[in-house]
Chains A and B, each alone.
Chain A
Amino acid sequence: MLTRRSLLKLGAGGLAASAVGALGRGSAEAAAPPSQVVIAIWGLPVRILGSNEAVFSYVNLLINDSLTAVDGQGNVSGRLAAKYPASPDGKTYLVTLRDAKFQDGTPITAQDVKFSYELYLHPKYPTTAPAFLEIAGAQEYKAGNASSVSGITVVNPRVVRFILNRPYPFFYEQIGTAAVLPAHALANVDVARLQEAPYARKPIGAGPYRLADWRETESITFEAFHDYWGGAPTLPRVVFKLITEDATVLAELHAGNIDAGRILPEAYSQFQNDARVSTLRVPGDTFYWFAPNFKDPMFQDVRVRQAMAYAVNREEMLQALYRGLGTVAQSPIHPSLWQYDKQLKGYTYDPTKAKQLLAEAGWTPGPDGIAQKNGQPLRAKYGFLAGKDYQDQALLIQQYLRAVGIAIDVQSLERGDFFSRYFVPGAPIELVGIAWFNLIFPPQAELEGNFMSTGATAQIIGYNNPKMDQLLQQVVLTTDRKVQKGLYDQIQELVISDAPHILTIRPDVIWGLNKTFVLPSGVTSLRDFFGSLPRWKTR
């Protein structure tokens, strides 16, 4: 007889059965090799065209391709460009395209190349990379005084000639690395309303993966482009899944619901002996620093800045906050690049020396331990971008500085406040703590932005050092890599000795990775990690 009780039991049993089926990993699935890899990502781009967001750069590596590319060590290679010799005077580059197609099957021609650069230089295009202005006629075109860029010529459907204003040494690294876009898909687009064009949501790039599905707050799915010139990617599908909670990423990795995700240093040891998940450590793109406002007389004396640098115990910070997984940062250049000065001896932890320097600068300890000069205490407000990393570091830095007599009040600033009220030229900042991301290879543009007196960041903190300006300008005047390296070494030394920024740490990025997937060797940065996706293999 069907009583209510027995019905309930049946129902529960049925539910349980379907639950096991739906939730557990089906045995049928486990047999076949995976056709996709699901990677948990911390942010998704909001735009594809004209985006310089950090998270977009990883998407760009997959869907687009460029004439030349720079690898993790900063070395140049040809991508869509098969031959790309420079003229003896360094002002002309003759680029011969290889036989390659866009993802919709149309061949890539010199016309597409010219079109792409003219789009990037269009007066209504939102940003302009300064390097592009090195092309002859670019300035006029950007100002709206010319109908095309005179320095870019289509010699024949496979050959493009670039003429520069001067022998700019970074053509391959900073001009040749722009994505080549299909002219036929973008020809009639209103550049002022670029984001409203169909292309902005359904791009057709030249890269190994095609953007198949884009759900902004959820995920991006990429599908392999089989006719990619470099060979079809091994994995048919790649998915970036947006998960902002670290705890959730960890849980999903354990449960097997995602294949790769960034994990915290604390969780690193958990996976050392895991049957299913392995770990991968790469030096991160993020390096942390804090800088004083040069308009404030307190910090204009280089000895005060150097004292701050000696006061910070970087090793301890690395150990305490990142379990030692990372490196002490003494240079703003990513350690895998050739420009990086391996011999650089930066600051050591030396609070005695710090106090000594302060004394030399006229700051003597007051009754409460805070250094003071002419009755004024060495006290400043330290504002940092809201975020756990910045917050934890700020607290430690506060302790270290206090120990040598510098008192700082730390204040967390929400992103909107930070970038519009605080981190702009003329803003009343005293000390600011933030991090930069090495996304622009080579580092020339970043160094200029941070340390050249005309650079955006330098202007915000009011840094102006003619020697630094001179060095940075000299780099661009030579194509001899040896000479450039010598200059970069000097620049890095100057960043140390003049201490416009006090660099602290560069944490590693740790990935938890499903052991089914095998990465090619030589992945030494996040860029390599994402760039290597087309060559991932499965066991």
Chain B
Amino acid sequence: MGAYLARRVLVLVPLLFGVTAITFALLVLAPGNPVDFLISPEERGFTDVSVLRHQLGLDRPLPVQYVSMMAELTTGRLRSFSDRRPTIQLVGEALPTTLILTATSLAATVALAIPIAVVSAVRPYSGIDHAATLFSLLGISLPTFWLALGLIYIFTERLGVLPASGLRPVGSAGYAPAVIWPYLIMPTVVQALSILPVLVRYARSSLLDAFGQDYVRVARSKGLGERAVLVRHVGRNSLIPVLTVVALLLPFLLSGSVVVETIFALPGLGRLAVGAALARDYPTVLTTTTVAGVLVVLSNLGADLGYFYLDPRVRDG
């Protein structure tokens, strides 16, 4: 077990280098000099570009830039091109928002998916099953930004009951749930709907599978009611693996957060990444990519571990 874990963690290192190297290569191949973004066009005439380039280390050979930036990144000293603050700090400020949104979205998805899956699995191919499938298909077919704009129109513009921008009322700070929960409602709905079908599908077939299992037949033959069968025997065995799949949905939520954070003006990682990429702020892009990569890999690891522990057959086989 320890060896398995160690192997998985060690894989992180080359993986992260791969991710960042690709990102860096693409960034520098793309035309678009970071310096051009730091000088407004009106000032172009009286700015000494070479001074700025030197200050940002852009006049060094590319491999040197990459290695130096990665070294600074690991020690937390890498600074953004635009405001010269350590990128770790920028990411640190943005990460909680994204994590909170992701957590609430995952919670909402699970809370919705399990009941839908149960209802569908108990009566497969019934009207309810069809409706449930259609509902979750709806989620995966709607463009998230379209849905977001629609929700803003209805709930902020017309009804005035939900705030459409930011994470908290102006002037307040922190992440106290009592303060931020109204701001999270619409973004969470949008995010959750986009991954709901995946989870419903997985849970539903997992349940259907389980219903065919020997131990369920035995429980049924013992005369236990449908509900008891469900809860006691099937529930734990087939739904807990579903939770491990939840961890695998993190990458989709991270991509989705880019658009959602833009529309709802949430100061999260997605928005930071967008701005940095468009401004060719290499250090910030590298940092956000690395952090996103770490999150994805950690969540995969978590899913693997969960599956490993919870499914005795995999553990022993």
Contacts and interface: CB of A to CB of B under 8 A. Distances in A.
Interface of A: 19, 22-24, 36, 38, 46-47, 52-54, 124, 126-130, 192-196, 200-201, 215-219, 221, 237, 239, 241-245, 247-248, 250-252, 254-257, 414-417, 419-421, 423, 436-437, 439-440, 446, 449, 454-457, 459
A419 B82 contact: no
Contacts of B262: 244-245
B204 interface: no
B43 A217 contact: no
A168 B170 CA distance: 46
Given A217-B275, A248-B265, 11 more contacts: A52-B42, A126-B55, A127-B46, A216-B90, A217-B272, A248-B156, A251-B153, A254-B157, A416-B30, A416-B36, A419-B37
Contacts of B170: 36, 38, 219, 221, 239, 241
Interface stretch (B64-72, B161-169, B191-199): B161-169
Contacts of A421: 31-32
A44 B75 CA distance: 29
B213 interface: no
Contacts of B55: 126, 192-193
A221 B171 contact: yes
Contacts of B278: 414-416
A456 B48 CA distance: 13
Contacts of B222: none
Nearest to A130: B46
B177 to A, nearest CB: 11
Contacts of A449: 42, 45
Contacts of A248: 152, 156, 164-165, 263-265
Contacts of A416: 30-32, 36-37, 278-280
A459 B45 CA distance: 9
Interface in B72-104: 79, 82-85, 90, 93-94
A27 B262 CA distance: 32
A245 B85 contact: no
B242 to A, nearest CB: 24
A420 B49 CA distance: 12
Interface in B7-45: 30-33, 36-45
Contact of B43 (A52, A239, A437): A52
Contacts of B149: 247
16 contacts: A23-B161, A47-B83, A52-B42, A126-B55, A242-B265, A243-B165, A244-B262, A245-B262, A247-B152, A248-B165, A251-B152, A252-B165, A255-B163, A256-B160, A419-B36, A449-B42
A103 to B, nearest CB: 19
Interface of B: 30-33, 36-48, 51-52, 55, 79, 82-85, 90, 93-94, 149, 152-153, 156-157, 160-167, 170-171, 178, 181-182, 262-265, 267, 271-272, 275, 278-280
Contacts of A437: 42
A236 to B, nearest CB: 11
A216 B91 CA distance: 12
Contact of B265 (A54, A244, A256, A419): A244
Contacts of B45: 130, 449, 454-457, 459
Contact of B40 (A54, A130, A195, A257): A54
- Candidate in A22, A218, A417, A446 with the most chain B CB atoms within 10 angstroms: A218
B31 A420 contact: yes
Contacts of B178: 22
Nearest to A142: B48
A239 B275 CA distance: 22
- 10 A-B pairs with least C-beta separation: A416-B32, A195-B84, A456-B45, A251-B156, A251-B157, A46-B82, A255-B160, A456-B44, A419-B36, A46-B83
A46 B34 CA distance: 14
A420 B160 contact: no
B294 to A, nearest CB: 21
B47 A127 contact: yes
B48 to A, nearest CB: 8
A52 B32 contact: no
B187 to A, nearest CB: 12
A371 B160 CA distance: 56
A289 to B, nearest CB: 13
B94 A217 contact: yes
A258 to B, nearest CB: 8
Contacts of A24: 161
Nearest to B82: A46
B42 A255 contact: no
B51 to A, nearest CB: 7
A417 B280 CA distance: 11
B157 A420 contact: no
A54 B40 CA distance: 8
Contacts of A414: 278
A216 B278 CA distance: 16
- Candidate in A46, A256, A439 with the most chain B CB atoms within 10 angstroms: A46
Nearest to B181: A22
B142 to A, nearest CB: 17
A242 B262 CA distance: 11
Contacts of B33: 420
B171 A36 contact: yes
Contacts of A201: 85
